[in-house]
Amino acid sequence: MPSAGRSRFPAADPGAPATGSPVRFLLWLATRHRAGLVLATLFGVLCTLAQALVPAAVALGIDRGLLQRDRDALLLWGGAVLALGVFQAVVGMLRDRASITNRFGAVYGTTQLVVRHAAHLGADLPRRASTGSVVSVSASDVGHLGTALEGTARGSGAIVSILFAAVFMLVTSWQLGLVVLVGVPLIAAAVTRLMRVLHGRQQRLREQQGALTDLSVDIIDGLRVLRGFGGEKTYGRRYREGSQAVRAEGTRVAATVADIAFLRVLLPGALLVAIVWLGAHQVSTGRLEPGLLVAFYGYAVFLTDQLGQVTAMLDQLTRANVAAGRVLDFLRLQRERPGGTRPLDDDAAAAGLPLHDPDSGLTVPPGRLLAVVCGTEGDARTLAERLCGHTDSAVLLGDTPLSAHRTDDVRRHTLLADNDATLFAGRLGTELDPRDGDPRDGDPGGDGPRDSDPRDDRPRTEALLRALDAASARDVVDALPDGLAHETTGGREFSGGQQQRLRLARALLADPRLLVLVEPTNALDAPTEGRVARNLGPHRAGRTTVVFTTSPIVLEHAESVVFVKDGKAVAEGRHRTLLADPDYRAVVTREVLA
């Protein structure tokens, strides 16, 4: 039974978006929430119309009740004002509820699109998009789309109420109505012109922010190397220059925003002065009743607020247009290598076909623990990506090119685990095993099950514990007060070695047909590394495991070792046998002395 706090937004595929232009994308996003959008707009119109009727009811109460000393009429129109206020409060609440639902629905749906496309790109993502652009899309642009969808209800209601007030004033006094009908479009045109300027400056600011984020990520990732040759000062100067450019552009954007805010006060205020002056003149000449003057003053104040709502909606739509363009830029990214069409079902994967890389001569026998020692820096990562189909290569699965198989099938049966993998925030048990519904179920360190029978999750929990034992990470979990229910902050509370063991446990629990590990123990001390090396083979029995490493401890426990020099497999055998090769021994010895 679902919990009361569970989100009502569906987890289904959001569908294929309209990618022709930012406007078409926004319209597609709106049509996905058509019912909610119509409902929010209807409540928005009713709310502002009820507010627009209040000055008219006050005028009638003054003219027919107060000035004529008619108590019944005064009570009638006073009650009408009260009823309009209550009605406005109720429909306003319903409008806000529907609008917020639309906002979160748009954010949720767009996030689904972005995450789905990021998963589709897979290993190509870092090569196709910068870190800054991805962060900007996911952290900022998606929110602007939701805000625009939320603001349409208030903006639409404001437009309708402005038209109603203008008609009322035009019928009552054509001079005042004409002032409104001329003044409102002029104000909207002036603000819209500034909105276009703001649009361009916001676009430039976002581009500069993305470039600065990329630079900061590069500096953080390479800080240790930069300090080695004194390059941190050069990159620090580049970052200062970039941040100053972002600051200057941000100042220009803020100046434009300030100009828009100034006009939002000045222009409606000038319109208010004109309406009040003209209305007072008509009352003094007997062409307008005093109550109607109060109504006109009320409408002038009312219109000031409604014009602000309209300009706010235009501002939100402008920002959403920029954000939609950036989202589309991301969604249009394509893989460097298109996927094949041949299926790779479970039976074919279980058949135990060997992998062969003709470019390097490396052959991976099925169902064995193979270690690969690379003499040239960078070869390990290159070969690992080839074996898992992350890059375009001539790797063969049996007699069939790996690239001929469907990408999703290859991903389901292969896993590349390296030290760049991230431990995300959340419950540790769920982070290590996303298929586990509640990590506390059956967890001795947790507080028990919640909505399901713990026996339902016992096999997954036992598998997770076995993976933790194989990765020698059980002690990491046992040291936590809440065990697997511990709320991790992205793994920052763990040491480098602890993170490495937890990442290895996660990879082992995934249990792919082919597991490729890149330096899985280089942050561990010798005793812990020995335990991991002894456990790895038995835990992966019957599965294919390739470990790229130069650790003698791991190499000693491998069933076979391949030595790769200058991108070519030049020797194969057991670790102790290969030590007779001086080139192999030099590579392994450097690792020991390091």
- Closest to 455 (Cα-Cα) out of 465, 436, 434, 441: 441
**Does 3 reside within a domain?**
no
Spell out the residues 6+ positions from residue 371 whose beta carbon is closer than 8 angstroms to its own: 546, 547, 548, 549, 554, 555, 558, 560, 561, 562, 575
**Does 64 reside within a domain?**
yes
Asked whether the beta carbons of 520 and 471 are under 8 A apart, the reply is no
Q: What is the pLDDT of residue 339?
A: 65
Q: Which residue has the higher pLDDT, 547 or 390?
A: 547
555 and 492 within one domain: yes
Q: What is the pLDDT of residue 591?
A: 46
376 and 267 within one domain: no
Report the percent of the chain where pLDDT is more than 90. Answer: 21
329 and 360 within one domain: no
Separation between Cα atoms, residue 480 and residue 486, nearest integer Å: 7
Q: Which residue has the higher pLDDT, 219 or 126?
A: 126
**Does 7 reside within a domain?**
no
What number of other Cβ atoms are within 10 A of residue 531's Cβ?
17
**Does 448 reside within a domain?**
no
CATH number at residue 119: 1.20.1560.10
Q: What is the mean pLDDT of residues 307-314?
A: 80
Q: Which of 272, 287, 302 is the last residue of a domain?
A: 287
Residue 545 has pLDDT above 80, yes or no: yes
Q: What is the pLDDT of residue 155?
A: 87
For all residues of the chain together, what is the average pLDDT?
Answer: 80
**Does 385 reside within a domain?**
yes
Separation between Cα atoms, residue 227 and residue 8, nearest integer Å: 50
362 and 401 within one domain: yes
194 and 73 within one domain: no
Spell out the residues 6+ positions from residue 3 whose beta carbon is closer than 8 angstroms to its own: 450, 451
Residue 229 has pLDDT above 80, yes or no: no
283 and 383 within one domain: no
Report the percent of the chain where pLDDT is more than 70. Answer: 84
Residue 102 has pLDDT above 50, yes or no: yes
**Does 207 reside within a domain?**
yes
DSSP letter for 227, please.
H
Domain membership of residue 76 as a residue range: 16-172+310-336
Q: What is the mean pLDDT of residues 240-258?
A: 81
Residue at 491: amino acid letter: G
Q: What is the mean pLDDT of residues 526-531?
A: 93
Q: What is the pLDDT of residue 351?
A: 53
- Domain tally, the chain: 3
- Closest to 74 (Cα-Cα) out of 300, 288, 284, 291: 291
152 and 269 within one domain: no
Calculate ∠ Cα 561-566-572, nearest 5°.
20
Summarised one tens digit per residue, pLDDT across range 357-372 is: 999 999 999 989 999 9
Question: If DSSP codes are grouped into helix, strand and coil, which group holds residue 153?
Answer: helix
488-492: long-range pairs with CB below 8 Å, 24+:
488/423, 488/424, 488/425, 488/426, 488/427, 488/428, 488/431, 489/425, 490/422, 490/423, 490/424, 490/425, 491/422, 491/423
Q: What is the pLDDT of residue 210?
A: 67
Question: If DSSP codes are grouped into helix, strand and coil, which group holds residue 561?
Answer: strand
Q: What is the pLDDT of residue 251?
A: 83
Q: Within 13 Å of residue 269, how many CA atoms lie on the same side as its CB?
A: 6
**Does 294 reside within a domain?**
no
207 and 103 within one domain: no
166 and 40 within one domain: yes
Q: What is the pLDDT of residue 438?
A: 43
Q: What is the mean pLDDT of residues 192-206?
A: 72
Q: Which residue has the higher pLDDT, 413 or 573?
A: 573
Q: Which residue has the higher pLDDT, 338 or 239?
A: 239
Q: What is the pLDDT of residue 106?
A: 87
Residue 230 has pLDDT above 60, yes or no: no
Question: If DSSP codes are grouped into helix, strand and coil, which group holds residue 406?
Answer: coil
Summarised one tens digit per residue, pLDDT across range 256-307 is: 788 877 877 788 778 778 877 887 787 777 777 777 777 777 777 777 778 7
155 and 55 within one domain: yes
Residue 458 has pLDDT above 70, yes or no: no
Residue 78 has pLDDT above 60, yes or no: yes
- Closest to 84 (Cα-Cα) out of 56, 65, 63, 64: 56
Place of tokens 């076909």: 353
Place of tokens 């992966």: 540
159 and 279 within one domain: no
The answer to which of 140-144, 381-385, 525-529 has the lowest mean pLDDT is 140-144
Summarised one tens digit per residue, pLDDT across range 379-411 is: 898 899 888 888 777 888 888 888 888 877 888
The answer to which of 49-63, 258-272, 515-529 has the lowest mean pLDDT is 258-272
Q: What is the pLDDT of residue 390?
A: 80
**Does 516 reside within a domain?**
yes
Name the pLDDT band for 129 (thresholds 50, 70, 90). confident
**Tokens standing for 94?**
């319903």
Q: What is the mean pLDDT of residues 574-593?
A: 82
CATH number at residue 366: 3.40.50.300
Q: What is the pLDDT of residue 7?
A: 44
- In sequence order, what are the beta bridge partners of 426? 488
322 and 354 within one domain: no
Q: Which residue has the higher pLDDT, 564 or 376?
A: 564
Spell out the residues 6+ positions from residue 60 whose beta carbon is closer than 8 angstroms to its own: 73, 77, 291
